[in-house]
Amino acid sequence: MLNPISHEQIADYINLADICIVPLLRIFWWEISSPLKLMEYLAMEKPIVVSDIKTHLDVIPYNSKFALIFTPDNLYD
């Protein structure tokens, strides 16, 4: 865990990552919210791992070459 950082430093921290993850579960709030973290990662051109909730699939197609899409409902299958 990190201490709070300024908004100006966020891009520097994202840039350090090799891959970014947005593993949101399929709940109503996340299904209708704007995927801000996803947009930040896409703007930084990072490969991403995302759950297949509607708000993510509205932005990323299943056949994307820069994203790994998983189903959060099947985590324990």
Report pTM. Answer: 0.80
* Number of structural domains the chain divides into: 1
CA pseudo-torsion sign 64, 59, 45, 36: negative
18-76 per-position pLDDT tens digit:
999 999 988 888 888 888 899 999 999 999 999 999 999 999 988 889 999 998 876 56
**Does 1 score more than 80 pLDDT?**
no
Q: Give the closest residue to 20 by CA, choosing from 46, 2, 40.
A: 46
Asked whether residue 2 is assigned to any structural domain, the reply reads no
Q: Check if the beta carbon of residue 75 is closer than 8 Å to that of residue 49.
A: no
The pLDDT of residue 75 is: 58
The pLDDT of residue 31 is: 86
Asked whether residue 37 is assigned to any structural domain, the reply reads yes
Asked whether residue 1 is assigned to any structural domain, the reply reads no
25 is in which domain, residue-wise? 7-74
Asked whether residue 38 is assigned to any structural domain, the reply reads yes
